[in-house]
Structure formats: structure tokens, C-alpha cells
Amino acid sequence: MPDLPQHRPVLAGTAYSGISGAGIRLEALPEGHLLHVLGTIEPAALAAELAKAGFTNSSIRKAGFRQWFVAGNEPLSPAGLDALTTALAGKAFVMDQSHGRVRIGVSGRYSRLLLSKGTAVDLDPSVFPEGHSAMTMMGHISVQIVRTGDDSFELTVLRSFAESLWDELRHMAASAEKEGA
């Protein structure tokens, strides 16, 4: 039916195809799945239930007290969501946020310098190790920052703020590369 809305990735198009400089790379990550899990389940038990439900390539990120985001590049299948919801019944609630949030990758030797221009979170590896996450503000936009490697991070932002955040990151990247050079 032609009148049904068609999914279009929010950061699609040439303006958002990725920015790669001498020390910084920005990329729009696949709009796969993002689940918000709330409950008393511990991360290890959540990981086991995710594996049983077929979410083997998903990562768990702390999003607050007894709250996690489960993120992955693969699109969410209704059967997988149903299996996870059933497995977590009585332990946690699952809410699909895939349609409402976007992930942006920030990497390179100046990635911490870039991010420090927008947030007060201390991103030094000794206090913010790989796998660590924090809910914070980047300027005026609420984001979750996750360290995914030595010099790589992932930002999760509400879909309606993704283009604005991208533009802010692009400007901060140019400034960070000048400072770092």
C-alpha cells in the first residue's frame, strides 16, 4: 500500500555518510535494535536470556538504576522480542526503543578530545573503561555515551535530536582536530 509510512534512517544521505579525518571518525550506525529493559535482573542473567532469545550480537549498557539498553545492528524481529519478553516475565520489562533512538559512532585518537567539548563526563580509560556507559548531556542534547574500544565510543540519542547532534559533533570534530594537530 503506497500510503503506509516507509522507514528511512534518520541519518541517511550524503550529509550524514560519515566523517573521517586525521584523528576522528563519525559514522551513523545501523538502525538495528535498541531495547530498554527495566527490572531486578542482573546483567549476567540478562545476557543469558538475550542469548536464548537470539540476541547473541547485542550489547548491554547500563542506563540507570535497574535499567539497561540492549543494542545491536540487526533489525528487531517480532518473534525475538516476544521470546525475550516471555523469558523476562516477572524479572524485567522490555520496551522496544528501536524506532525512537539513533546510534552514532565516534572514534579516532582525538575522539576523547571531541567528546570533552560537549560533556563533563571524565572519559579517561582509568575511570571510564571499555563497556562503561553514562547518561549525560552533549550541549543541550541528552545522550548515552558508551566506550566501545580504546579510542571509540557510541552515542545513543533520541531520533528527533540525531541530526542536531550530528551537526554539533561535526563542528566539534573540526575544532578537536585543529587542537590535536
Q: If you search the block for the grid coordinates 503506497, which residue do you land on?
A: 2
What pLDDT does residue 2 have? 62
In which residue ranges of the chain is pLDDT below 70? 1-7, 13-17, 180-181
Euclidean distance between CA atoms 82 and 89, whole angstroms: 11
Predicted pLDDT at 80: 87
CA distance 83 to 53: 5
In this prediction, residue 155 carries a pLDDT of: 97
Domains and CATH numbers, the chain: 14-30+100-180 (3.30.1360.120), 33-96 (3.30.70)
Ramachandran sector of residue 49 (left: φ over 0; alpha: ψ -120 to 50; beta: rest): alpha
Q: In this predicted structure, what is the pLDDT of residue 141?
A: 95
